[in-house]
Structure 1
C-alpha cells in the first residue's frame, strides 16, 4: 500500500452500481440454466468488452444476430432493455464514498469500463457520480481496463501520482493490471470488506 494516500480511484459497475445482465435475462429466458448458457455462449463478457472499448451497440448487435439468428430477440434486448441490467446503487459503498468525500483529504476519481452510449444515463441517474473530480470512461477513450494505456489516461489527465493513490475494483484482472503499472489496488468483494480494509490502512476512521 502507498505510504501516503492522496487519491482514491473507484471502479463503478460492481462496486458502486449494481450491474448484472442476469437481472434482465431472468425476465426473458425460461430458467437460470438457460440464462447462464446464453451469457456464456451468446452475449458473452468478451463480446460486451468490445462495446466498453468503443464499438457501437448497432454494430455489435448486428454482428451477433448474424451469428445467432435464432436468438435475435434476446440479443436485441441487451441494449434495447439495457437499463434493466442495473438494479440501483450499492448503497453501502456509496456511503463509504461519501465518508471519503466529507473527509476533504483526498482527491476522488472513477475509472470505468462502460459504453459511451449508455454512460450519460448513469450520470443522469446517480447523483454520487458528480462527487468525483473526474471520470474516465473506456467507451469514450476507445480502450479499457486492464490495458496500461487506460490507467495512464487517468494519471496524465488529472496529474495523479499512482504511488500515492489507491484503486478499488471488483475484477481481479483490473486489479492485476493496476498493480503491474504501480497503482496499489484493493479487490472489492463487498462493502463490509472494503470498509474494513480502508479503515485498516487509515483512510477511514
Structure 2
C-alpha cells in the first residue's frame, strides 16, 4: 500500500463519469462510414472541437467551418444541435465510487475539458455532477488539460495541496499533465481498476452496486 496521504480526489468527467461519442448521432446523420470518417478527420475535427473546450463560442466555431465548407453547413451545425446524443449515459459503477467517496467525507472535486454551455446541460441531465465540492470547467477558465496551468488553477481555486491530491482521467496525456503539476494521478480504464488504484493509496470506497450503466439521472441498467 502507498504510504502517501491523499486528502483530495479530483475526477475527470468525460469517459470517466459519463460516456461521450460523437459518432452516435452522426452514424445516422452521415450513414456512409467512409464519408463520416472523412468529415471528422477534415471538418469537425478533434482539434476544432477542443477550442470550444478552451472557451470559443459555438457560433464562432461554426462560422469558421462554414466559411471553408459551405456545402457542409447542416452537418457542421448538427454537431452542437445533436450534442446531447453524444452523451447518452453515465458510467454507473464509477458514479457509485464517487458518491461513496463523498458520503465517506472525502474531499472530491472535478476538473474537465468541457465547453461551458454543454457542461451546464450535462449537469441538468446528470444530477450527480452537482455532488462534488466544485468543478473547474476548461471553457470557463479558458485553459485545457494537459496544460499544467489548469491543474494549478484548480488547486488554487479549491485550496488543494498538490502532493496530497489524486487525479483520475481516461487520457494518459492528462494524467501526465497532473503529475507535472505535482499531483498524483491514475489512468482510468474501468471502475474495477479504479477501485484497485484507490486501494493502493489506502482509499477504500464502499462496495459497488450492481454492475451497470446509468442513464441520464437514472440508475444502472446495462454493463458499462
Equivalent-residue separation in structure 1 for 2:200 and 2:143 (angstroms)? 33
Q: Deviations over 1:67-114 (max 9, x none)?
A: 12222111110111111111111111101111211221x200000111
TM-score (norm 1): 0.94
Partner of 2:213: none
Q: Deviations over 1:153-190 (max 9, x none)?
A: 11111110010010001111111111111111111112
Aligned-residue RMSD, C-alpha: 1.4
8 A Cα contact 1:8 1:107, kept in partner: yes
Q: Which runs of 5+ in 2 are unaligned?
A: 206-224
Moved more, 72-81 or 34-43: 34-43
8 A Cα contact 1:116 1:137, kept in partner: yes
Offset, 1:8: 0.3
Rate the CA distance shift 1:31–1:193 in 2: closer, same or farther, 3 A. farther
8 A Cα contact 2:27 2:33, kept in partner: yes
8 A Cα contact 1:168 1:187, kept in partner: yes
Alignment of 1:7-26 (within 5 A): 7-26=8-27
8 A Cα contact 2:5 2:201, kept in partner: no
Offset, 1:33: 3.3
SS of match in other structure, 2:41: helix
Partner of 2:209: none
Equivalent-residue separation in structure 1 for 2:29 and 2:43 (angstroms)? 14
Equivalent-residue separation in structure 1 for 2:35 and 2:193 (angstroms)? 32
Offset, 1:201: 2.6
Equivalent-residue separation in structure 2 for 1:191 and 1:75 (angstroms)? 34
Equivalent-residue separation in structure 2 for 1:70 and 1:127 (angstroms)? 38
TM-score (norm 2): 0.86
Question: Is residue 63 from structure 1 mapped to residue 64 from structure 2 by the alignment?
Answer: yes
Partner of 1:113: 113
Q: Deviations over 1:44-70 (max 9, x none)?
A: 111111000000000000101111222
List 4+ stretches of structure 1 deviating above 6 A: none
Partner of 2:78: 77
Offset, 1:32: 3.3
8 A Cα contact 2:6 2:201, kept in partner: no
Offset, 1:2: 7.1
Offset, 1:35: 2.8
Equivalent-residue separation in structure 1 for 2:93 and 2:43 (angstroms)? 33
Partner of 2:146: 146
Partner of 1:192: 192
8 A Cα contact 1:2 1:184, kept in partner: no
Offset, 1:12: 0.4
Partner of 1:35: 36
SS of match in other structure, 1:95: helix
Q: Which runs of 5+ in 1 are unaligned?
A: none
